Structure 1
Amino acid sequence: MLFSRTSLVVASLLAVTVAARPAEKRWGGWGGSWGGGASNNWWHSAPAASFGDFGKRWGLDSGSCDMAAAVQNMNLAAADPPLPSPHPGLSLFSVVVGRGTQNYTCDLSNTTAVPTPVGAVASLFDVSCVAATAKELLPALSVIALNLPVPSSDDTSSPIMQDMTGHHYFLDDTTAFFNLDTSLHQYGMGALQKANASDAPTTSYAGPGGQGNGAVQWLKLDVKPAAQDSFKQVYRLDTAGGVPPKMCTGSPAAFEVPYAAVYWLFK
């Protein structure tokens, strides 16, 4: 468990979400970029007194979410090969950080078996205004999220749970589902399938504490044929962790690998 002074600040960071799409003003102007020096002082400073006052403490409460600006900050070219652009006519609705696990199974009767992916589970937190005003921070958010404990859905009184935007999980091995309808808001949902996949940049974060087997691929997901869901296209970018061992040797029949990613949801 990583509840140090730094993790409390970071938990506040992840807890920020929209009260009503697309306005989330706590993520206004950003005074620097992710990296060393004075522009990175927020990381080392005292934690906010509460989740709610994080934006005011760090001077991030000016401005508003500009989704058109956020679209321009999508870094599709960083993947290898670059992912295709969003389909014409679609509009960016939200950008969220997902924190959870990539799930795998192993055939223990086969000594040469490799892990088989069986979907993922993640909690989603809105970072749309970061995408619009501080694109340099997006890859860092995945790293930060990966180094925090997975939020427990059982603790519904927790501020971070109350600020959760939604959930990501799989309906079957190939159908990724994004559910952004909660007791506090109804933003929509969508069942999508993989359309394009590219390797994450070689500099991507390998796993918690920087230790792991690598970052899962970047993806472009398209809505399943004939589906009438809200979300028509989703990108998984800025991944951290999630890659299993190359072989099943020493692994259980089913296991999870922690991961985080930034998801871009289009309607």
Structure 2
Amino acid sequence: MHFNGLVLASLATAAVAAPTSNVFNDVYNFDATLEEFYSRVSAHIGRFADGPPPTNCDLSKVSVPSSSLPPATGTLKYVAIGRGTQNYTCADATADTLPSQIGAVANLYDASCIAANYPDLLDLATDIVLNFSLPAPGVQTPLAPANVEILGHHYFETTTTPTFNLNTTPDKQFGVALTSKKNSTTAPQGSIIGQFNVGYGAVPWLYLTSITGTTDGITSVYRVKTAGGAAPATCSGQPAAFQIQYSAQYFFYV
């Protein structure tokens, strides 16, 4: 959990220098949401001008966003921002065929300290990262613009087993969660539908529970605050396999 005062300080220059003129929009992919993010970062930096910022990442007062999903039980261990793709196939390219989902691939970034200390930044960051370049699966660099570090990787062990591997390096072994989907709910109205809010919609929110093979006591995973990722309504004009970019928040409970 590494988003702390030092990270806020590292964002200070960007926050102060962030362009506000439409002249720069095409260069920096700058928009009102990103401007709001940097403005809030600057406000947090100002709060700590006369004293140190919080350095702990206490999640005891953080909870999964309210929805029709079953309520969380246990202890919240990590909050992550996921950035990747939802993957689909089409048997043919006609309007009579529906896309079939074949899993997802995403990097997971440790947003636990944002959730604990700067909750107003969490939702903004989750939406904004969708407009930045898709990180390569093996890249270990922090996620722009929040500068949060890699926590793990999300993929499907089988076509029905969403997997979350939080063992990234020999000294960062946080567990592996093999899960089964237990419940889902449609993303709320107003959710970001795709990159730059252009796309087919936000994928549903999910409640996943761990199955045999899970380590380190992880019992459940919630996917919430989704942005993008939904497939088109039909396969008309689509290739045999395609990906739709998305971002989301993942809450891990033990």
Give the alignment's TM-score, normalised by structure 2: 0.76
Name the residue aligned to 2:69.
Answer: 83
Aligned partner letter, 2:70: P
Identity in percent: 35
Report the Cα offset of residue 143 of structure 1. Answer: 1.1
Aligned partner letter, 1:164: I
Name the residue aligned to 1:129.
Answer: 113
Name the residue aligned to 2:53.
Answer: 62
Report the Cα offset of residue 40 of structure 1. Answer: 3.5
Report the Cα offset of residue 135 of structure 1. Answer: 2.9
* Residue 205 (structure 2) pairs with residue 218 (structure 1): yes
Q: Alignment partner of 1:40: what SS?
A: helix
Name the residue aligned to 1:25.
Answer: 4
Q: Cα gap change, 1:251/1:233 in structure 2, threshold over 3 Å: closer, same or farther?
A: same
Name the residue aligned to 1:173.
Answer: 159
Report the Cα offset of residue 104 of structure 1. Answer: 0.3
Q: Alignment partner of 1:96: what SS?
A: strand
Deviations 1:133-186, CA, capped at 9 Å, x for gaps: 333332222211111111124555x45599311100111221110011111411
Q: Alignment partner of 1:219: what SS?
A: strand
Stretches of structure 1 lacking an aligned partner (at least 5 in a row): 1-17, 29-35, 47-54
Stretches of structure 2 lacking an aligned partner (at least 5 in a row): 9-31
* Residue 36 (structure 2) pairs with residue 40 (structure 1): yes
Report the Cα offset of residue 41 of structure 1. Answer: 6.8
Report the Cα offset of residue 262 of structure 1. Answer: 0.3
Query: For residues 170 and 92 of structure 1, what CA distance do their matches in structure 2 show?
Result: 23
Name the residue aligned to 2:28.
Answer: none
Name the residue aligned to 2:249.
Answer: 262
Name the residue aligned to 1:5.
Answer: none
Q: Select 1:93's aligned residue among 77, 99, 106.
A: 77
Give the alignment's TM-score, normalised by structure 1: 0.73
Q: Alignment partner of 1:66: what SS?
A: coil
Report the Cα offset of residue 250 of structure 1. Answer: 0.4
* Residue 234 (structure 2) pairs with residue 234 (structure 1): no
Aligned partner letter, 2:119: K
Name the residue aligned to 1:139.
Answer: 123
Query: For residues 84 and 62 of structure 1, what CA distance do their matches in structure 2 show?
Result: 35
